[in-house]
Homo-oligomer: A and B are copies of this chain.
Protein backbone atom coordinates (compact mmCIF):
# COMPACT_ATOMS: atom_id res chain seq x y z
CA UNK A 1 0.00 0.00 0.00
CA UNK A 2 1.08 3.46 -1.01
CA UNK A 3 0.61 5.12 2.38
CA UNK A 4 1.54 2.24 4.69
CA UNK A 5 5.17 3.26 4.98
CA UNK A 6 4.41 6.93 5.32
CA UNK A 7 2.13 6.23 8.24
CA UNK A 8 4.44 3.76 9.90
CA UNK A 9 7.34 6.18 9.61
CA UNK A 10 5.27 8.76 11.46
CA UNK A 11 4.51 6.36 14.28
CA UNK A 12 0.92 5.92 13.15
CA UNK A 13 -0.33 2.39 12.60
CA UNK A 14 -1.53 1.95 9.06
CA UNK A 15 -5.08 0.95 9.86
CA UNK A 16 -7.71 0.40 7.21
CA UNK A 17 -9.47 3.63 8.14
CA UNK A 18 -6.33 5.75 8.04
CA UNK A 19 -5.29 4.33 4.69
CA UNK A 20 -8.72 5.04 3.27
CA UNK A 21 -8.68 8.58 4.60
CA UNK A 22 -5.23 8.99 3.03
CA UNK A 23 -6.70 8.03 -0.33
CA UNK A 24 -9.49 10.56 -0.05
CA UNK A 25 -7.11 13.29 1.08
CA UNK A 26 -4.01 12.67 -0.99
CA UNK A 27 -4.95 10.66 -4.09
CA UNK A 28 -6.02 13.78 -5.93
CA UNK A 29 -4.71 15.83 -8.79
CA UNK A 30 -5.05 19.03 -6.83
CA UNK A 31 -4.81 19.89 -3.18
CA UNK A 32 -8.03 21.12 -1.56
CA UNK A 33 -9.60 22.78 1.47
CA UNK A 34 -12.15 21.11 3.66
CA UNK A 35 -14.07 21.12 6.90
CA UNK A 36 -14.55 17.91 8.86
CA UNK A 37 -18.14 17.82 7.71
CA UNK A 38 -17.18 18.13 4.06
CA UNK A 39 -14.52 15.48 4.43
CA UNK A 40 -17.00 13.20 6.11
CA UNK A 41 -19.34 13.45 3.09
CA UNK A 42 -16.46 12.90 0.66
CA UNK A 43 -15.48 9.77 2.55
CA UNK A 44 -19.05 8.46 2.47
CA UNK A 45 -19.09 8.85 -1.31
CA UNK A 46 -15.71 7.31 -1.99
CA UNK A 47 -15.54 4.51 0.56
CA UNK A 48 -17.96 1.57 0.98
CA UNK A 49 -17.54 0.96 4.68
CA UNK A 50 -18.48 3.51 7.28
CA UNK A 51 -15.83 5.44 9.17
CA UNK A 52 -17.07 6.97 12.39
CA UNK A 53 -16.99 10.71 12.85
CA UNK A 54 -14.75 10.35 15.88
CA UNK A 55 -12.18 8.54 13.77
CA UNK A 56 -12.27 11.25 11.14
CA UNK A 57 -11.60 13.85 13.81
CA UNK A 58 -8.84 11.77 15.35
CA UNK A 59 -7.20 11.07 12.02
CA UNK A 60 -7.33 14.63 10.76
CA UNK A 61 -5.78 15.85 13.99
CA UNK A 62 -3.12 13.15 13.89
CA UNK A 63 -2.26 14.07 10.30
CA UNK A 64 -2.17 17.73 11.16
CA UNK A 65 0.22 17.07 14.01
CA UNK A 66 2.47 15.13 11.67
CA UNK A 67 2.41 17.92 9.12
CA UNK A 68 0.35 16.17 6.44
CA UNK A 69 -2.44 18.69 6.81
CA UNK A 70 -2.59 22.33 7.77
CA UNK A 71 -5.25 24.23 9.63
CA UNK A 72 -6.24 27.45 7.93
CA UNK A 73 -6.61 30.41 10.29
CA UNK A 74 -9.99 31.83 9.52
CA UNK A 75 -12.97 32.87 11.59
CA UNK A 76 -15.68 30.40 10.97
CA UNK A 77 -17.66 28.14 13.23
CA UNK A 78 -16.07 25.20 11.45
CA UNK A 79 -12.35 24.52 11.26
CA UNK A 80 -10.84 24.55 7.78
CA UNK A 81 -7.99 22.29 6.75
CA UNK A 82 -5.77 22.28 3.70
CA UNK A 83 -4.06 19.33 2.02
CA UNK A 84 -1.57 21.80 0.60
CA UNK A 85 1.08 21.99 3.31
CA UNK A 86 3.58 24.08 1.36
CA UNK A 87 3.89 27.65 2.56
CA UNK A 88 1.16 29.58 0.83
CA UNK A 89 -1.63 32.02 1.48
CA UNK A 90 -5.35 32.40 0.91
CA UNK A 91 -8.03 34.56 -0.51
CA UNK A 92 -11.31 34.31 1.33
CA UNK A 93 -14.38 35.22 -0.66
CA UNK A 94 -16.67 36.62 2.02
CA UNK A 95 -19.79 36.38 -0.16
CA UNK A 96 -19.32 32.76 -1.25
CA UNK A 97 -17.53 31.73 1.95
CA UNK A 98 -14.91 30.09 -0.24
CA UNK A 99 -11.16 29.82 0.15
CA UNK A 100 -8.86 30.23 -2.83
CA UNK A 101 -5.18 29.35 -2.80
CA UNK A 102 -2.67 32.07 -3.48
CA UNK A 103 0.47 30.67 -5.05
CA UNK A 104 3.66 31.80 -3.43
CA UNK A 105 4.47 33.73 -6.59
CA UNK A 106 1.22 35.68 -6.14
CA UNK A 107 2.54 37.38 -3.03
CA UNK A 108 5.65 39.53 -2.84
CA UNK A 109 8.23 38.74 -0.16
CA UNK A 110 7.07 39.32 3.38
CA UNK A 111 9.37 41.06 5.77
CA UNK A 112 8.61 40.69 9.47
CA UNK A 113 10.93 43.21 11.10
CA UNK A 114 10.02 42.71 14.73
CA UNK A 115 11.50 39.89 16.77
CA UNK A 116 10.26 38.43 20.03
CA UNK A 117 12.98 37.24 22.41
CA UNK A 118 13.25 33.50 22.71
CA UNK A 119 10.63 32.85 20.06
CA UNK A 120 11.07 31.87 16.47
CA UNK A 121 8.68 32.21 13.59
CA UNK A 122 6.93 28.98 12.80
CA UNK A 123 4.76 30.23 9.99
CA UNK A 124 3.52 33.37 8.30
CA UNK A 125 0.01 33.17 6.97
CA UNK A 126 -1.85 35.80 5.02
CA UNK A 127 -5.60 35.91 4.66
CA UNK A 128 -6.87 38.30 1.99
CA UNK A 129 -10.56 38.94 2.39
CA UNK A 130 -12.47 39.66 -0.79
CA UNK A 131 -15.71 41.54 -1.20
CA UNK A 132 -17.77 42.49 -4.26
Instruction: Write the residues of chain A forming the contact surface with B, with a CB cutoff of 8 angstroms.
Output: 71-75, 79, 91, 93-94, 100, 102-103, 105-114, 116, 118-132
**Cβ contacts under 8 Å, A124 to chain B:** 126-129
23 A-B contacts, Cβ less than 8 Å apart?
Answer: A71-B75, A73-B74, A73-B75, A73-B127, A74-B75, A75-B79, A102-B112, A102-B114, A106-B112, A107-B110, A107-B112, A107-B113, A108-B110, A110-B110, A116-B130, A120-B130, A120-B131, A121-B129, A123-B129, A124-B126, A124-B129, A125-B128, A125-B129
Answer whether A119 and B106 are a contact pair too, CB < 8 Å, given A124-B126, A126-B125: no
Residues of B within 8 A of A132 (CB): 118-120
Query: Are B126 and A130 closer than 8 Å at their CB atoms?
Result: no
Q: Give A93's nearest chain B residue, CB to CB.
A: B119
Look across to chain B and name the residue whose beta carbon is closest to the beta carbon of A77.
B79
Contact A127 B130 (CB under 8 A): no
